[in-house]
Structure 1
Amino acid sequence: MAKSSEKHKFTLRIIVDEEKNKVVLAEACRDFVDVLFSLLTLPMGTIVRLLENHQKSDPVTLGCFNNLYKSVVDMGSDDFETEACKQMLLYPRSVRDVQCKRLKININPTEDIKCFKCPSYCQLYSNFNTSECHCGNVMNNEIPLENKEQVAGKDDANGVFVSGRYSFILTDDLKVAVKSTELVLNKLKSLGCADVSKLGEMLLDIGLEEVLTLLGCIFSSNTPLTDTFLNKQNPQAVTRIYKSLSPCREKKEDETEPEKVVTLKAIVRKQDMKILFVECGEDFVELLFSFLAVPLESVWEISGSKISLGCIGNLCRSFKDLSATEGTEIPTFIGMLPSFYSFQMQLPGIITQQPPVYYRYRLYSGQVSYGLTTDGNRNPYFRKDRLVKVVLMDPKSHGRDKSTHCYGFLKKETKFTVFDDLTITSMNSCSTVSLLKKLQSHADDLEVQVISISSSQALNLLRASLVTSSALSTALWNLIAKKLKEETDLWNPVSKKVKEEI
């Protein structure tokens, strides 16, 4: 953890209803609001890792995401295409990493992107020192990167996500707005706290630990400020609502590309139609793993109003409203994953950034003189005909494939078992009989249903993964019910006769 983040503190003024021991309002500086909004930019896998490390004895449980992340941890390296694939999922990057380096408290400091090449004269480069060149060598020779991406808005008048030198008002449910006397009066009246003689004030020092506690509370509480700063514990009451509705993304008429569909074998318990587990290929598991790479702001955006999860919605709406009303120029990265985070099957509305373009300057001898640069015009005295564009290899590909872009993190033609709580294991790791014993299931009570999942239907699975501990049964029950009805109609003579008459 960066030392600056460990030592830096914010002063937060909270207005407290002393009779109810409840935060009414909080007054915060711009830097604190920047840190608050930065939580929305974190990939879901990063949030799971940070919260588990923050409170190891009793970590905050985010639906099925903890099991999903642990499955990556427990999975052997042989199941992945390359060694880098597992690291990319355990430590997913954000397209806003560069912006977050300017935060006064950055709870997820990341290293600068590095570049490595083969020790021979091959012209392939990679961002990972474990990548294998097509000649068979490991690409572990680090090449200096010059003219690294500059952080926009270094003027002190601008923050990272909000501009100006304003103070801000925060409600207990994390609605954020620019401070004004009119706003404070209206908030006090609407909250039934017009009698200010009953209100107290507290000045709090907010550091790294408090921000991490607040991160856990925004998922599970409607009053995260009270729970973080007054109760000083992670709340046990969880506010989570799931609506199993059709995906919020509609198919456009001009979209001709067919949707990606995967087929699963669902093992269903007859008495309650609960999905105990599914048997599937690597494409469905990659869809689940892609959830870990999606930032929180994108999860909320593509899920629309289909989930209610703590105060995430209020924070996201405040982020958008402040950007619009204050004219803050914030790059739009909703639904965007960093370079090379391309999966065999991805959620609709999620795209992957193009990899950066690097150049090297070639001397007469053919050697590199000034390392790599992202700027082809870095020096007016350089001859443009000696600037050579560098080939950056996809860390998911093998060097022998000479591929600069590929889809998929897991080895092809691999079979997996995915449990209802999204714990994932390789099918060759245990026998079917042992599995049924573990689930305390009788063979006569089970049946196998073959179902198909499209990329747009996978949105229901994402939502269920956030708010329940039984994501498969919650999100896919309608497919099981539909399949059962079709089979019932097929074998019901009366139903069959009616259909023939029609």
Structure 2
Amino acid sequence: MPDTFLAKSPVRMNDRSKGKMLKRKTKNKKQTNRCNSVIKRGESLKMPRLESTRRPVELNNIKHESQANHSDILDAMKQVKFQLKLFVEKERNRVVFAEAGSDFIDTFFSFLTLPMGTIVRILNNNLESESRVIGSFSTLYTSVKNLDSGLLWSDECKQMLLSPRNSAEADCLQLKLNLDDSAPGTYFICEDWGCSRNSSAFLSTYCTTRCSCGKLMNRGITVSVTPNVKNVQHKGGVFAREIESYIESPLTEAFLCDGADRVAIIQSKVGSLADTQTCRDRETTEDAMTIKLIVQKSSNKVLFALAEKNFEEFLFSFLTIPLGGITRLLSGNISVGSVSNLYQSVSSLNSKCNIKSQEVKMLLNFQLAPLHFCKNQIFCLNEAKAPLYYCLSDKRYAESIGCLVEYRVDCNYELKCTPLTLKNPKFEEEYARSNEMFMVTDDLVVSPFSAIASISIMQQLKIYPSDVEEQVVRIGMEEALKILKASFESTAALTNAFSSDLLLKKQLTKEEH
């Protein structure tokens, strides 16, 4: 019966019914208190307590609830304001430096933890069209959004690319202003409560995932954030230590330094990637991916590329890499904006002990979120360990309000502690299901190959077939870094990445003739 009908037509209850309801409420309250008392007896660690719905909720309802709660959080975030003291050079009308508290610095540094897919989504939702373009990342994101889900292993694979999780999610939830709009900290278990009490139970970050029993994992659970012990030991913000006034002079120095010096400084702090080993074995470098570039001979411009799914997945994985990770991969050699300066400032502040030691490792040595690693990724990226949660419930009741904790509890005849494994929506570390050829445009729009689409591109650019040639390119570490850099800085990523190689081949061809 619809909830609206029940609301308009309340049912009268006799004394016997009221007594049963009161008894049920008392039983639930005792069960919740029992779980809470067990948690309090645990160690002084970060132990989130999760409260579940009493009965399975329809998928539409759970989405509506999550969106409503998340909307309230976003509205509250919009009310957050920081107090800054700006020192401005009047003649040139520019900010020389600013004084701010650790809360503002925390939000500032959290930019480095955001995956690129999250950054593109935030800009798309909040800025005008001209201001939200980040090189070719914007068009890559849109092409993934428009891609047929049937080409991927599951709908969740697309969600992982469009709304990638943050490996520093737990820390960012403690920020005064968290820019991530993807409802972090939310998990789902099987709609069948009994399934979550089994020894092989699963946990998911998406409400559309199918459990091993075949039912939807749409029972929403939200992790309640508790104060972190490391923040108690060192008072202050999430990343920065507490001081009366935080002067951003290291940032100012970074903003004014020369680009070449900036690269040298970052390389000295985090090392060069010249000796970085790829995730492929060095013995199998002959099997490295290759693509076919369709190039306009007269202008040396790449029209599009033909590639297999390994290159497609390699491009898709760009959306899961944190901003700080891209900066480190490129050794700070990014000419767009002040990202390299921000990354360098973390190293500068760390040397002055203004940032907590554990957080420095997270900001400088980035990690992918759990389960976001792709085997077709050329860069050797570290993945954060998947969290292991335990479902604490009462053995005596088939459906009871349980708790989700991060540690195993010694159970008795009443309590049961069941480990929950985070379910991986990918298959064999791959996002894409289809083995067909894909077409990648110069600005990284990915789509299944179509002869009609390729002809349409040449017609739109008014290019004659006689002015087109095909070149085969091998993608190794050097080429991968060039594509990543060009994707961040340009809307002609493939042309910029391979321009020098194409010119060299063109010169060699002329010499041969």
Q: Per-residue CA shift, 1:189-240, capped at 9, x if unaligned?
A: xxxxxxxxxxxxxxxxxxxxxxxxxxxxxxxxx68xxxxxxxxxxxxxxxxx
What is the CA-CA distance between 1:280 and the residue it aligns to?
1.1
* Counterpart in the other structure of 2:240: 162
Asked if structure 2 preserves the Cα contact closer than 8 Å seen for 1:145 and 1:373, the reply is no
* Counterpart in the other structure of 2:7: none
Taking structure 1 as the reference length, the TM-score comes to 0.73
What is the CA-CA distance between 1:134 and the residue it aligns to?
4.4
* Structure 1 residues 375 and 269: CA distance shift in structure 2, 3 A: same
* Counterpart in the other structure of 1:24: 96
Asked if structure 2 preserves the Cα contact closer than 8 Å seen for 1:283 and 1:345, the reply is yes
Separation (CA, whole Å) in 2 of partners of 1:388 and 1:127: 18
Q: Which is worse superposed, 282-291 or 162-171?
A: 162-171
Asked if structure 2 preserves the Cα contact closer than 8 Å seen for 1:356 and 1:374, the reply is no
* Counterpart in the other structure of 2:190: 117
Residue number among 451, 460, 467 corresponding to 1:445 in the alignment: 467
* Counterpart in the other structure of 2:368: 337
Q: Which is worse superposed, 2-11 or 261-270?
A: 2-11
What is the CA-CA distance between 1:297 and the residue it aligns to?
0.9
* Counterpart in the other structure of 2:377: 346
What is the CA-CA distance between 1:433 and the residue it aligns to?
2.5
Asked if structure 1 preserves the Cα contact closer than 8 Å seen for 2:390 and 2:407, the reply is yes
Residue 93 of structure 1 aligns with an amino acid whose one-letter code is R
Separation (CA, whole Å) in 2 of partners of 1:315 and 1:476: 28
Separation (CA, whole Å) in 2 of partners of 1:43 and 1:345: 18
* Counterpart in the other structure of 1:424: 446
Q: Secondary structure at the match of 2:150?
A: helix
Q: Per-residue CA shift, 1:393-425, capped at 9, x if unaligned?
A: 20224xxxxxxxx31112230322111111222
* Counterpart in the other structure of 1:290: 317
**Gaps (5+ residues) in structure 2?**
1-72, 257-261, 264-271
Separation (CA, whole Å) in 2 of partners of 1:464 and 1:71: 18
Question: Is residue 84 of structure 1 aligned with residue 128 of structure 2?
Answer: no
What is the CA-CA distance between 1:138 and the residue it aligns to?
2.9
Residue number among 394, 397, 407 corresponding to 2:424 in the alignment: 394
* Counterpart in the other structure of 1:358: 389
* Counterpart in the other structure of 1:306: 333
* Structure 1 residues 171 and 440: CA distance shift in structure 2, 3 A: farther
Q: Per-residue CA shift, 1:112-144, capped at 9, x if unaligned?
A: 2313226384844233221224454333344x5
Residue 408 of structure 2 aligns with an amino acid whose one-letter code is N
Q: Secondary structure at the match of 2:343?
A: helix
Output aligned runs, 1:197-236, within 5 Å: none
Asked if structure 1 preserves the Cα contact closer than 8 Å seen for 2:391 and 2:405, the reply is no
What is the CA-CA distance between 1:428 and the residue it aligns to?
4.1
Q: Secondary structure at the match of 2:324?
A: helix
Residue 275 of structure 2 aligns with an amino acid whose one-letter code is E
Output aligned runs, 1:482-501, within 5 Å: none
What is the CA-CA distance between 1:318 and the residue it aligns to?
1.2
Output aligned runs, 1:13-52, within 5 Å: 13-52=85-124
Question: Is residue 320 of structure 1 aligned with residue 318 of structure 2?
Answer: no
Question: Is residue 258 of structure 1 aligned with residue 284 of structure 2?
Answer: yes
* Structure 1 residues 360 and 29: CA distance shift in structure 2, 3 A: closer
What is the CA-CA distance between 1:389 and the residue it aligns to?
3.2
What is the CA-CA distance between 1:152 and the residue it aligns to?
4.7
Q: CA RMSD in A?
A: 3.5
Q: Which has the higher strand share?
A: 1
What is the CA-CA distance between 1:102 and the residue it aligns to?
1.6
Residue 389 of structure 1 aligns with an amino acid whose one-letter code is P
* Counterpart in the other structure of 2:408: 377
Q: Secondary structure at the match of 2:157?
A: helix
Asked if structure 2 preserves the Cα contact closer than 8 Å seen for 1:347 and 1:459, the reply is no
Asked if structure 1 preserves the Cα contact closer than 8 Å seen for 2:166 and 2:369, the reply is yes
What is the CA-CA distance between 1:354 and the residue it aligns to?
2.5
Asked if structure 2 preserves the Cα contact closer than 8 Å seen for 1:360 and 1:388, the reply is yes
Separation (CA, whole Å) in 2 of partners of 1:16 and 1:483: 51
Output aligned runs, 1:167-206, within 5 Å: 167-170=245-248, 174-175=252-253
* Structure 1 residues 383 and 248: CA distance shift in structure 2, 3 A: farther
Residue number among 118, 127, 140 corresponding to 1:55 in the alignment: 127
Asked if structure 2 preserves the Cα contact closer than 8 Å seen for 1:335 and 1:351, the reply is yes
Q: Per-residue CA shift, 1:91-121, capped at 9, x if unaligned?
A: 1221112111222222224332313226384
Q: Secondary structure at the match of 2:107?
A: helix
Q: Which is worse superposed, 152-161 or 263-272?
A: 152-161
Residue 477 of structure 1 aligns with an amino acid whose one-letter code is S
What is the CA-CA distance between 1:341 and the residue it aligns to?
0.5
- The percentage of aligned residue pairs carrying the same residue is 28
Separation (CA, whole Å) in 1 of partners of 2:112 and 2:311: 26
Residue 312 of structure 1 aligns with an amino acid whose one-letter code is V
Residue number among 57, 63, 79 corresponding to 1:7 in the alignment: 79
Asked if structure 2 preserves the Cα contact closer than 8 Å seen for 1:117 and 1:140, the reply is yes
**Gaps (5+ residues) in structure 1?**
177-221, 224-240, 398-405, 493-502
Residue 293 of structure 1 aligns with an amino acid whose one-letter code is T
Separation (CA, whole Å) in 2 of partners of 1:413 and 1:33: 46
Q: Per-residue CA shift, 1:64-104, capped at 9, x if unaligned?
A: 11111111122222222111111111112211121112222
Q: Per-residue CA shift, 1:422-444, capped at 9, x if unaligned?
A: 12222249443323212321111
Question: Is residue 472 of structure 1 aligned with residue 502 of structure 2?
Answer: no
Separation (CA, whole Å) in 1 of partners of 2:462 and 2:316: 28
What is the CA-CA distance between 1:347 and the residue it aligns to?
4.1
Separation (CA, whole Å) in 2 of partners of 1:2 and 1:20: 36
Question: Is residue 64 of structure 1 aligned with residue 95 of structure 2?
Answer: no
* Counterpart in the other structure of 1:140: 218
What is the CA-CA distance between 1:310 and the residue it aligns to?
2.3
Taking structure 2 as the reference length, the TM-score comes to 0.71
* Counterpart in the other structure of 2:23: none
Q: Secondary structure at the match of 1:308?
A: coil
Q: Secondary structure at the match of 1:414?
A: coil
Counting matched residue pairs gives: 416
Separation (CA, whole Å) in 2 of partners of 1:267 and 1:481: 14
Q: Secondary structure at the match of 1:158?
A: coil
Separation (CA, whole Å) in 2 of partners of 1:471 and 1:426: 19
Separation (CA, whole Å) in 2 of partners of 1:159 and 1:371: 32
Separation (CA, whole Å) in 2 of partners of 1:267 and 1:302: 28
Residue 247 of structure 2 aligns with an amino acid whose one-letter code is I
What is the CA-CA distance between 1:265 and the residue it aligns to?
1.4
Question: Is residue 107 of structure 1 aligned with residue 184 of structure 2?
Answer: no
Q: Which is worse superposed, 311-320 or 113-122?
A: 113-122
